[in-house]
Amino acid sequence: MSNKLINWFRFASPQAFYPLAGRMIPWFWALAAVFGIAGLYVGFLVAPTDAQQGEGYRIIFLHVPASWMSMFIYLVMAFWAGLGLAFNFRLSGMMATALAPTGALFTFLSLWTGALWGKPMWGTWWVWDARLTSELILLFLYVGFIALQSAIDDPRRADKAGAILALVGVVNIPIIYFSVKWWNTLHQGSSVSLTKSPSMAMTMLLGMLLCALACWMYAIAVALMRVRTIMLERERHTEWVREELGMKAKEQ
């Protein structure tokens, strides 16, 4: 038990996590490619045409995974931020900072593909219904988090300020998720949820889940790459970073 705890905390130090992350990144990239190709193959070549929306519905294979990721990454980011606030781990703040741009990207993708989907199906690019508006607020939260952190020079203070913003913003996540249940919206309800069987044809669902896995792997790979850069930047005065960079220079 105590042995396990020691091992666990070892990776909380940037020095130990840096090489581990470096070894994991190629695997996550490979998995992202495999799931991505499989997902797009199933989505575009196997899944049948939709009865109501024809071929246009196929944007779902990007829209839904992007929306899921936008919410999930925020929760992970807030978790790391909260952990950093409570325990003062150096790594937590770095993880939160590394996740924010990817979360913002997925939120933007979700809104953008949603607009492209809304125009032909609903007849409008945008409406101010609860689902769309709360997702837009999520984008502002991500952008606000990034802006706030970059406005503060001292990384420790930047982490603290960002963590408070990230934690306050968590209330928005259940609002986004349940908005289609709590209020009537133009956006339809969830096709896939934990409480009921999915209201989609099996192959459509399979394609969507594979694409979601691809997005997941991509997000991990990119976040790890970013966190490695942040580690080097923030710890540039330490012995291990000098060694790491010195070693790299010799190798070349």
Q: How far is the CB of 204 from other proteins (least distance, A)?
A: 5
Q: How far is the CB of 49 from other proteins (least distance, A)?
A: 6
Backbone angles phi, psi at 51, to 5 degrees: -65, -40
Nearest to other proteins of 97, 172 (CB atom): 172
User: Is residue 131 within 8 Å of residue 113, measured between CB atoms?
Assistant: no
**C-alpha closest to that of 89 among 37, 31, 11:** 11
Q: How far is the CB of 129 from other proteins (least distance, A)?
A: 4
Q: Count other Cβ atoms within 10 Å, centred on residue 235.
A: 20
Nearest to other proteins of 13, 185 (CB atom): 185
Q: How far is the CB of 130 from other proteins (least distance, A)?
A: 5
Q: How far is the CB of 222 from other proteins (least distance, A)?
A: 28
**Site residues, other proteins (CB under 8 A):** 46, 48-53, 57, 60, 82, 85-87, 120-124, 127-130, 167-168, 170-171, 175, 182-186, 188-191, 197, 199-204
User: Is residue 216 within 8 Å of residue 69, measured between CB atoms?
Assistant: yes
Nearest to other proteins of 184, 252 (CB atom): 184
- Sign of the C-alpha dihedral computed for residues 239, 244, 247 and 252 taken in this order: negative
Nearest to other proteins of 27, 183 (CB atom): 183
Q: Count other Cβ atoms within 10 Å, centred on residue 121.
A: 15
Burial class (CB in 10 A: 0-12, 13-18, 19+), 4: exposed
- Counting Cα atoms < 13 Å in the Cβ hemisphere of 205 gives 10
Nearest to other proteins of 60, 219 (CB atom): 60
